[in-house]
Amino acid sequence: MPEENEEARISSVKSLFRKLNPFNTAMIALAVVLIAGVGVLTYFFFDMRKEFNDVSDDLVQAKALISSNQESIGRLHEEIDRKDREIISLNDTISELNSCLDSLDDDISSLDSALSHESTKLSSIEELLDDTGNRIAGSYSELSQRLSEVSTSVNGATTAYTNAYLKACDSIVRITNQDHDYRLLGGSGVIATADGYIFTCYHVVKGYRHIDIYLQDGREYTAKMVDGDEDLDIAVLKINEPVENLPIASFCSLDDILPGDLAVALGYPAVNFLKGPLTVTAGIVSAVREYDGCTWVQFDTTMNPGNSGGAIINQNGEVMGMGSFELVGYSGQYSNLCFAVPADTGWEYLNKYLETQS
């Protein structure tokens, strides 16, 4: 049955084409061709449109890639510029280093020249040292002899101090003075006679109420002032109790004192609180001079409060005077400018007093 129907349709189409005239046939053929062309064009249009879209996508991707590459190229240019600047800076540094190297070369050249000059000087110094060494070796014996003489001189001076001290120390006494205000004052003194007369300074016992005398051997006595002069700073004391075997000082006159004589100060500095033995300081006689209307023995031995009234002895242990004061000036500009009451002044007042007692 289907085959029969197909044959019927084909027969019907053939019958139709036979009825058409040639013009119609041509038109139909043309229409078929046009329809086929339109189909082909439509196919190509859609195919080209697809390819165009693909190309458009490729172009978009290419533009994005180009943009990305341009950014990378921009960064690369910036990096190149930075490297160029670093290279320029490095070149400047290299130039500075080259300049420093040139300067260093100059310094090395100068140093070489200086070293050469110093080497010449060193050679001269070595020659001088050799010559000096020879001269030192040649004079060693003389130097040793001189050192021996100096040592002997120093030992002699030390012995002179000690011998002078030993001759006079027992005759130096410590004095304490309680004044009318019950203040305890004090100083030093020198035993002048076997029956107990003592020389000291007036300011040591000024305004006294009670005077105590302390000897080197431990004996203690009381005393009173029998004569004195405040302007001359001399005082003559007399021990109140009976005495015997007192150690008596030796004295020398002003006429026997010369500048440069040994001046050894014996006394009790800080007498009221620095308890202990008799102290010794040494110097020389500076002059015998008039000062403030009085005659003084000037010396450079250190004086401290408590030394006042103590003996200033010479190299023979003889008492030249009693230490009185040190001149210091308004601002302490003077140093070791010390003065002693001459022993002659003490004897003058003692003899005058004794004359009044006979």
Q: Could you list the active site residues?
A: 203, 233, 308
> For residue 235, what are its two tokens?
């005082």
126 contact partners, CB below 8 Å, separation of at least 6: none
Interatomic CA distance for residues 102 and 351, integer angstroms: 98
Contacts 24+ apart (CB under 8 A), 292-298: 293/231, 294/231, 294/232, 295/254, 295/342, 295/345, 296/321, 296/324, 296/339, 296/340, 296/341, 296/342, 297/254, 297/257, 297/263, 297/321, 297/339, 297/340, 297/341, 297/342, 298/337, 298/338, 298/339
Contacts 24+ apart (CB under 8 A), 231-234: 231/293, 231/294, 232/202, 232/294, 232/341, 232/345, 233/201, 233/202, 233/203, 233/324, 233/325, 233/341, 234/199, 234/201, 234/202, 234/322, 234/341, 234/345, 234/346, 234/349
Exposure of 134 in the CB half-sphere (CA atoms within 13 A): 5
The residues pairing with 311 across neighbouring beta strands, listed in sequence order, are 322
- Cβ 310 vs Cβ 281: under 8 Å: no
**Cα 234-240-242 angle, rounded to 5 deg:** 125
**Cβ neighbours, 10 Å, residue 175:** 29
Cα 276 → chain centroid: 40
Interatomic CA distance for residues 276 and 331, integer angstroms: 32
